Amino acid sequence: MENSNQQHKALIIGCGIAGPATALFLKRIGIDSVIYEAEKTNDDYAGLFLNLARNGLRVMDELGIDEPIRQEGIVMQTMKMVSGKGKMLGTVGQSTGEPQGYTIKRGFIHKVLREEALRQGIPIEFGKKLRSIETNEPNRVEVSFEDGSYASGNILIGCDGIHSRTRKIALPNSPVPSYTGLISFGGFVNRSKVPYERGIQKLVFGKRAFFGYMVKPSGEVYWYGNMDYNGQPTRRELQSIPQEEWRKTINGLYANDLDPIPQIVRSTQGEIGVFPIYDMPPVAEWYRKSVVLVGDAVHATSPNAGQGASLALEDAMVLVKCIRDLPNLEQAFSMFQQLRRDRVERIVQYSRSIGQRKHATNPVQVFFRDLMLPMFLKQANKDSLGWMYDYKTNWEDKITV
């Protein structure tokens, strides 16, 4: 497959984070894309919030769209960890210098990326749920969608998230997502009385479950928690449980914790969002013929390290640099996999290990967790998790074999 960029047309499956970011970088190197999104319309209020770490923000900066995130997001400098009894266990991060990241409503980051793609003339088609992929002819990909329509191009980039249909079709021997045994939930409280402390995210190892929250200068609280949940629930199954039941369960979970936790949970407005937490075991091959996987589709990580979105953004940039600099797609995809694999697998592992620390439920586990955590945090601060947050890839630097 020769790599004259003018010959390529990319089909991008999924308009989450990786999809529009990849399309924007491709546009820079002269490759036109169309983004196909399964949802019928964009939902700017979907999916609670996420922490965009500074490594991901650097990619948004490269795309020229970091400012809205800095303006709208809640800056995060340090995470303060507190035990269920109110004892300070330690902090991660520095109160000055470059923030660890910004917490932002998921719908907002989608909107920023999507609007930039549209502004640059990249078409986004909604209601296009990928059904099948054909790669019989060299340098050609044909896809069909559930609505009966078709599209063709030269490259297909699977940005369709953890339950990627692209992965299932193009790389059928890939492992399936692995359930961590935890569900995550959260919500928003407008105009609370919880004091605003600039740059601080509070993480409380509550009596029965973990709880995290941060406050905007306006008093709005963003909060989330985790709990054990048996089986292999899907998001749809969790959503089918009535909100009143979730409220009862979650209120009960935090009823004996110190304020402001029970207060925050009780005064949550709107829906409490509930998500099963899966991550991806290592995927051996990230591409086949003209099809390549990016972001959660190939290396979804649990949210504990707050890195999934940032990794998806990094991927977008590195993949397109590889396509730009290497003579053909085979070499570009192979180099992309080689450059990214160790980093993403390390983060998936690290994030899972944090989840297990939060997970302590019986008093003995809690005792040892509270004893060990300050040492773990000291170590994390010593290394300052630089390997995770300070990853940099410059757009101008050439990739060579």
Residues that bind ligand FAD (CB under 6 A): 13-19, 36-39, 50-51, 128-130, 159-161, 165, 184, 275, 295-297, 303, 306-310, 312
Q: In what order do the strands lie in the sheet with 9-13?
A: 124-126, 32-37, 9-13, 155-158, 291-293, 287-288
Whole-number minimum distance, CB 164 to ligand FAD, in Å? Answer: 7
The residue among 277 and 360 lying less far from ligand FAD, judged by its C-beta, is: 277
Whole-number minimum distance, CB 401 to ligand FAD, in Å? Answer: 27
Between the alpha carbon of residue 6 and those of residues 9, 21, 120, 138, 155, the distances in Å are 8, 19, 17, 17, 12
The residue among 8 and 110 lying less far from ligand FAD, judged by its C-beta, is: 110
Q: Are 383 and 346 in contact (CB under 8 A)?
A: no
Whole-number minimum distance, CB 59 to ligand FAD, in Å? Answer: 12
Whole-number minimum distance, CB 178 to ligand FAD, in Å? Answer: 14
d(CA 111, CA 124): 12
Residue whose tokens read 């340098």: 139
Sequence-separated (6 or more) residues with CB below 8 Å from residue 391:
55, 314, 343
The residue among 19 and 99 lying less far from ligand FAD, judged by its C-beta, is: 19
CA of residue 208 relative to chain centroid, distance: 26
The residue among 243 and 256 lying less far from ligand FAD, judged by its C-beta, is: 243
Whole-number minimum distance, CB 16 to ligand FAD, in Å? Answer: 2
The residue among 127 and 374 lying less far from ligand FAD, judged by its C-beta, is: 127
Which pair of structure tokens corresponds to residue 390? 């300070």
Phi and psi at 207, nearest 5°, equal -60, -40
- 91-119 burial, b for 16+ CB within 10 Å, e for fewer? bbbeeeeebbbbbbbbbbbbbbbbebbee
Whole-number minimum distance, CB 340 to ligand FAD, in Å? Answer: 13
The residue among 58 and 128 lying less far from ligand FAD, judged by its C-beta, is: 128
Whole-number minimum distance, CB 275 to ligand FAD, in Å? Answer: 4
Q: Which residue from 78, 181, 83, 170 is spatially nearest to 130, judged by alpha carbons?
A: 170
> Mind giving me the DSSP string for 92-117?
EE-SSSS-SEEEEEHHHHHHHHHHHH
The residue among 43 and 137 lying less far from ligand FAD, judged by its C-beta, is: 43
Whole-number minimum distance, CB 38 to ligand FAD, in Å? Answer: 3
d(CA 53, CA 2): 36
Cα-Cα-Cα-Cα dihedral of 291, 321, 65, 220, to 10°? 60
Which pair of structure tokens corresponds to residue 92? 């991660």
The residue among 201 and 290 lying less far from ligand FAD, judged by its C-beta, is: 201
Whole-number minimum distance, CB 280 to ligand FAD, in Å? Answer: 10
The residue among 247 and 370 lying less far from ligand FAD, judged by its C-beta, is: 247
d(CA 265, CA 257): 11
CA of residue 304 relative to chain centroid, distance: 10
Whole-number minimum distance, CB 21 to ligand FAD, in Å? Answer: 8
The residue among 131 and 328 lying less far from ligand FAD, judged by its C-beta, is: 131
Q: Are 186 and 49 in contact (CB under 8 A)?
A: yes
